[in-house]
Chains A and B, each alone.
Chain A
Amino acid sequence: MSEGAILSWRSWAPWVALALALVLLPRLLSSGSSLTMMSLMGIMIIFALSYNMLLGQTGMLSFGHAVYYGLAGFVAIHAMNAIAQNKWAIPLPVIPLIGGLAGLAFGILFGSVSTRRGGTVFAMITLGVGELVASSSLILRSFFGGESGITANRTKLMPLFGYKFGPQIEIYYLIAGWAFIAILAMYAITRTPFGRMCNAVRENPERAEFIGYSTQTVRFIAFCLAGFFAGIAGALAAINFEIMNALSLGAAQSGTVLLMAFIGGIGLFWGPILGAILVTFLQVTLSDLTGAWMLYFGLLFILVVMFAPGGIAGWLALHGPALRSGRLGRLLPAYALAAVPLAMAAAGAILIVELAHHMLVKASSDGSLVHVFFTTLDGASPWPWLAALALLGVGAALTRLAWGPVRSAWAAVHAASAPVDGPAEAAVVPPAAQGVLPT
C-alpha cells in the first residue's frame, strides 16, 4: 500500500462485485420497464448518497438538497441543447460532469451562506434557499421553461464509438458507469482526513474546533461536494428523461431524498443505496397500484424512525456478528413467528388505507366497490372496515407477544457469542450502537 492510497487491494473485492452486478443486471432483468426502473435507481443512488454526505457523515440536516439536483439538471438540459445546436464535439457521457460542476457552483454559492452555522440554523436556511429557488423557477421562464419545463434530444449530440444513446439500454450503462464512479468516489472521501473530520464534526463540533478544525469550513466543503454529486445525479436525470421541470428542484424532491437516505439508514455508507433502491421500486410499482402511495411512504418513514432508527442498513448490520459467528440461524424461528402477525397487521393497515382512500377520493364517481387484495369489497358497508380493524388490532397485539421470543433469541445469540478471553472488549459496544455507526 503506497502512502496516501485511499483503498488497499483487499478492499477492492466489493467494488469488483458491484461492477459485475451493474454490468450483468440487464441480462437478468431485460424488460423495458425494469431497465427504466434500474436507470432511475442508479440516479437516485447517487442522489441519496450525496445527501448522506451531509446528513449521515457530517450531521447536517438539509431540507433543500434537490436544489442542486434540479438546477444541475436544467444546466445539463441547456448544455445538451447548446451542444446539439452548435455541433460542438462533446459527447453525451460528458454531460454529467457538466451537471456536477453546476451542482458544485451552486453549492459554493448557497453553501457560503447556509453553512456558517450548523444544526437548526443550517436546516432552516436550506429550507429558505429551497423555497427561494423553487419560487424563482416559476418566474425565470426562459431558463426553467415554466410549468411544462425544458426538453432536449439526447441523440442529437456527437456519437461516441458509434453509440447515439437512443435506446434505454445504452442510457442504463451510461448511468451505471457514472453511478459506479460516484459511489466509489463518495466512499473514498469517507476514508480521507476530511471524511474523518466530517464524522468528528457530526459527533462533537465544539471539540473539533479545539483540535484545529474550523467546523464551518468542514461543513462548507461537505456541502460543495454533496452539491457536486447531486449535480451528477441531476444531469443523469436530464439525460434519462430528456426533460426537466421545476418539480425536480422543489420541496417534494428534497423530501424524497431525505426519505431514501433515512429509510435506508444514514449511519452506514451503503444505507442510502438500499433506501434509493427500495423507495424507487415502491414509487414506481405502488404508484401503478394505488393512488394512496404517498401515504404508504409516510407510514414507512414513521415506522423506520420509531422502530429502526438506524434504517434498514442499521437493522441488517445488527445481524453481522451473529452471521459471522454462525448463529444467525437461531434468530430465524423467532423472526418467522413474528412475521405472521406482522403481516396480518400490515394487511389490516393496507385495507384501511385503501378503503379510506377509495371512499374519500373515488367513491363519488366510481361507486363504493373497492378492489383490493384480489377481491372486491363494499366500502359503504361496515363489515370490511371492522374486519380490517380486527386484522390490524389482533396482528399488532400478536406481534407484541411474538416480540418476547425474538428478544430471547437475541439474548441467546449474545450469550453464546461472548468471548472467553477478552470480556471487556466484547461487552463495550452495544449492538444497537454498532448498527447506526458508520464504519
Chain B
Amino acid sequence: MSAVLSLADVHKSFGPTAIIRGVTLNVPTGERHAIIGPNGAGKSTLFHLISGRFPVSSGTVSLHGRPITGLKPYEIYRRGLSRSFQVTNIFPRLSVYENIRCAVLWALGYKYAFWLGVDALRSVRERAEAVMTSIGLTRRRDVQAGVLTYAEQRALEIGLAIAGGADVILLDEPTAGMSRGESEQAVQLIRTVTQGKTLIMVEHDMSVVFGLADRISVLVYGQIIASDTPRAIRENAAVREAYLGQAVH
C-alpha cells in the first residue's frame, strides 16, 4: 500500500511547551482519513506542520514519497497538497468569483503572467464556474466574500481548497459552527468534491466523521493513540475513555 502522505515521528514545540509529541501517520492514496481529538489536542497544529505554515521541530513529513519538511506553503501546494482553515481564511474584499478564480490560476499554469488577459482565459473561467457550482455559490458570484453568511464562507473556504485540483486535501473542521442541515449539505459537498482524492479532515461532529471517513486517527495531547476503521475506533476502550466518552452520548 503506497502512502501518499506520511509523517514520521513529528514533533512540535512552541517554546518549552511540546504540542505535537511524536506523530507517525501514513495515509494511503484515495483514503478519507479523519483526525479527531479533544480541544487543544494539536489537530490544527498538525495540519499547520503538514501544510508548511509552521516548521516542524523534528521529524519528517513526506508527500508522494518525497520529504516536504521545511518547504514553504506554496511549494507544498505545488506538489499537490491543498488545505482549508478552521478559522475562515478567504479574500474578504474580493468577490466570490475572484476568490475562486485566484485559487485556480496557479494550477492551470498561469502563474505570474502579467501579459495575458485573465477575463479571456476560457479554462480559468470554466474551472472557476465549475467550482462555484459545486460549492453552491453560483448565485452569489459577484458578492464580496466578506459579507457572505457564515455557512457560505465555510463553503467558499472549501472551494478555495479544492479549486486547484490538488490530489491531497486537508480540511480543518469544515462543518464547525454549522446547523445540522448545513452540515449535512457540507458532508455531501465534501464527498463529491473529494471524489478520487485523498482527504484528511479534522472534525468534531461524530456523525460527519463516521459517515465520511475510511479511517480515523485519534489525537490526544499531541500523540495518536489509535488509528483504525470507524467501527474499530468506536469499540476501542482507550478512545472511548480519552475522547468519545465525552462526545458521544
Whether the pair A5, B91 counts as a contact (CB closer than 8 A) is: no
Instruction: Check B211 for interface membership: any CB of A closer than 8 A.
Output: no
A1-30 contacts to B (CB < 8 Å): 1-8
Q: How far is the CA of A429 from the CA of B118 in the complex (A)?
A: 24
A398-439 contacts to B (CB < 8 Å): 425, 428-430, 433, 437
Q: Which of A5, A207, A209, A218 contacts B117 (CB 8 A)?
A: A5
Instruction: Check A34 for interface membership: any CB of B closer than 8 A.
Output: no
- Chain B proximity of A55: nearest CB distance (Å): 15
Interface size on A, residues (CB 8 A): 40
Q: Which of A7, A210, A429 contacts B51 (CB 8 A)?
A: A210
Instruction: Give chain B's interface residue range (CB within 8 Å of chain A).
Output: 35 or more
Whether the pair A194, B103 counts as a contact (CB closer than 8 A) is: no
Contact flag A4-B117 (CB < 8 Å), given A221-B112, A425-B143: yes
Instruction: Check B73 for interface membership: any CB of A closer than 8 A.
Output: yes
Whether the pair A209, B120 counts as a contact (CB closer than 8 A) is: no
- Which residues of chain A are within 8 angstroms of B73 by Cβ–Cβ distance? 209-210
Whether the pair A200, B94 counts as a contact (CB closer than 8 A) is: yes
Q: How far is the CA of A428 from the CA of B139 in the complex (A)?
A: 13
Whether the pair B106, A213 counts as a contact (CB closer than 8 A) is: yes
CB nearest neighbor in B for A221: B112
Instruction: Check B164 for interface membership: any CB of A closer than 8 A.
Output: yes
Q: How far is the CA of A187 from the CA of B124 in the complex (A)?
A: 20
- Which residues of chain B are within 8 angstroms of A189 by Cβ–Cβ distance? 114
Whether the pair B93, A218 counts as a contact (CB closer than 8 A) is: no
Instruction: Check A170 for interface membership: any CB of B closer than 8 A.
Output: no
Instruction: Check B92 for interface membership: any CB of A closer than 8 A.
Output: yes
Q: How far is the CA of A2 from the CA of B140 in the complex (A)?
A: 27
Instruction: Check A188 for interface membership: any CB of B closer than 8 A.
Output: yes
Q: Which of A6, A203, A428, A437 contacts B120 (CB 8 A)?
A: A6
Instruction: Check A72 for interface membership: any CB of B closer than 8 A.
Output: no
- Chain A proximity of B236: nearest CB distance (Å): 33
Instruction: Check A276 for interface membership: any CB of B closer than 8 A.
Output: no
CB nearest neighbor in A for B106: A212
Q: Which of B58-66, B77-85, B176-184, B195-203 contacts A (4 or more CB under 8 A)?
A: B77-85
CB nearest neighbor in A for B108: A193
- Which residues of chain B are within 8 angstroms of A7 by Cβ–Cβ distance? 117
Whether the pair A2, B120 counts as a contact (CB closer than 8 A) is: yes
Majority DSSP secondary structure for residues of B touching A: loop
- Chain B proximity of A313: nearest CB distance (Å): 16
Whether the pair B105, A196 counts as a contact (CB closer than 8 A) is: yes
A190-245 contacts to B (CB < 8 Å): 191-197, 199-200, 203-204, 206-214, 217-218, 221, 225
Whether the pair B114, A195 counts as a contact (CB closer than 8 A) is: yes
- Which residues of chain B are within 8 angstroms of A425 by Cβ–Cβ distance? 140, 142-143
Q: How far is the CA of A437 from the CA of B164 in the complex (A)?
A: 26
CB nearest neighbor in B for A434: B144
Whether the pair A200, B91 counts as a contact (CB closer than 8 A) is: yes
Q: Which of A8, A196, A207 contacts B90 (CB 8 A)?
A: A207
Whether the pair A192, B90 counts as a contact (CB closer than 8 A) is: no
Q: How far is the CA of A193 from the CA of B118 in the complex (A)?
A: 5
Instruction: Check B33 for interface membership: any CB of A closer than 8 A.
Output: no
- Which residues of chain B are within 8 angstroms of A192 by Cβ–Cβ distance? 113-118
Contact flag A207-B160 (CB < 8 Å), given A3-B120, A213-B106: yes
Whether the pair B119, A191 counts as a contact (CB closer than 8 A) is: yes
- Which residues of chain A are within 8 angstroms of B121 by Cβ–Cβ distance? 3-4, 193
- Chain B proximity of A259: nearest CB distance (Å): 24
Q: Which of B53, B77, B105, B164 contacts A197 (CB 8 A)?
A: B105
- Which residues of chain A are within 8 angstroms of B144 by Cβ–Cβ distance? 428-429, 433, 437
- Which residues of chain A are within 8 angstroms of B92 by Cβ–Cβ distance? 203-204
Q: Which of B116, B119, B164 contacts A211 (CB 8 A)?
A: B164
- Chain A proximity of B5: nearest CB distance (Å): 16
Q: How far is the CA of A361 from the CA of B150 in the complex (A)?
A: 60
Q: How far is the CA of A42 from the CA of B240 in the complex (A)?
A: 73
- Which residues of chain A are within 8 angstroms of B142 by Cβ–Cβ distance? 425
Q: Which of B101, B115, B164 contacts A196 (CB 8 A)?
A: B101
Instruction: Check B39 for interface membership: any CB of A closer than 8 A.
Output: no
Instruction: Check B249 for interface membership: any CB of A closer than 8 A.
Output: no
Instruction: Check B107 for interface membership: any CB of A closer than 8 A.
Output: yes
Instruction: Check B102 for interface membership: any CB of A closer than 8 A.
Output: yes
- Which residues of chain B are within 8 angstroms of A197 by Cβ–Cβ distance? 102, 105, 112
Whether the pair B93, A209 counts as a contact (CB closer than 8 A) is: no
Instruction: Check B167 for interface membership: any CB of A closer than 8 A.
Output: no
Whether the pair A209, B72 counts as a contact (CB closer than 8 A) is: yes
- Which residues of chain A are within 8 angstroms of B163 by Cβ–Cβ distance? 211
CB nearest neighbor in B for A207: B89
Contact flag A203-B101 (CB < 8 Å), given A1-B120, A192-B116, A193-B110: no
Q: Which of A2, A188, A212 contacts B164 (CB 8 A)?
A: A212
Contact flag A193-B94 (CB < 8 Å), given A3-B120, A213-B106: no
Whether the pair B112, A191 counts as a contact (CB closer than 8 A) is: no
Instruction: Check B9 for interface membership: any CB of A closer than 8 A.
Output: no
Contact flag A428-B112 (CB < 8 Å), given A3-B121, A196-B102, A207-B89: no
Q: How far is the CA of A199 from the CA of B94 in the complex (A)?
A: 8
- Chain B proximity of A418: nearest CB distance (Å): 16
- Which residues of chain A are within 8 angstroms of B105 by Cβ–Cβ distance? 193, 196-197, 211-212
Supplied contacts A209-B74, A210-B89, A221-B114, 14 more A-B pairs, CB within 8 Å: A3-B122, A6-B120, A191-B118, A197-B112, A203-B94, A210-B74, A211-B106, A212-B74, A212-B77, A212-B78, A217-B112, A429-B147, A433-B93, A437-B144
Pull 7 A–B residue pairs with CB atoms less than 8 Å apart, ordered by A: A6-B116, A192-B118, A193-B112, A197-B102, A204-B92, A207-B89, A211-B160
Residue numbers of A with Cβ under 8 A of B are: 1-8, 188-189, 191-197, 199-200, 203-204, 206-214, 217-218, 221, 225, 425, 428-430, 433, 437
- Counting from the closest, the 6 A-B pairs by CB-CB distance are A212-B106, A6-B117, A194-B114, A193-B110, A203-B91, A209-B73
